[in-house]
Structure 1
């Protein structure tokens, strides 16, 4: 399954948050052999503008349930959890077995 995790980061925490994400990716690679990609929202939402934040997203491909269950503790261990605004939201998807009509 593929896992997407999104959250908001304030502009004053952006540099530290990028370093924390790098640490998070090092942890996921070392413990699960999973590499992540960091993206952020291409357009600015009204919520981001009002709060002075940017929406970031981590993407992990071909991961299992144990990996997904460990993400909250790995994010805390990396220091990322303390640098974001609000909660981390995780959504996982699997490939469709039949074509969409």
Structure 2
């Protein structure tokens, strides 16, 4: 599996996990109803399946790397969906996390 396909899988996983969590948030915290929360729970379940499609067989490695994708993706989601305005420290932290993803997932191993 190519690095590009792996990155695409991380992006799709982020869409489902962050989107699912956002839907639950909207349903419960913003009082939009249990239907929103229910769709969020379904999206979170889909995320779990998407994560299994990564080529590496190590659950810990995949989830650790995905953590960095989640950090950056959450900031981007907040910008698009909620009008959140990250500051330079948010951007710096997200960049550090994505660098970590690169090291964890794509560093050469013997």
Q: Which structure is richer in relative contact order (CA contacts within 8 A, separation 6 or more)?
A: 1
Report the structure number with the largest CA radius of gyration: 2
Same fold by TM (over 0.5)? no
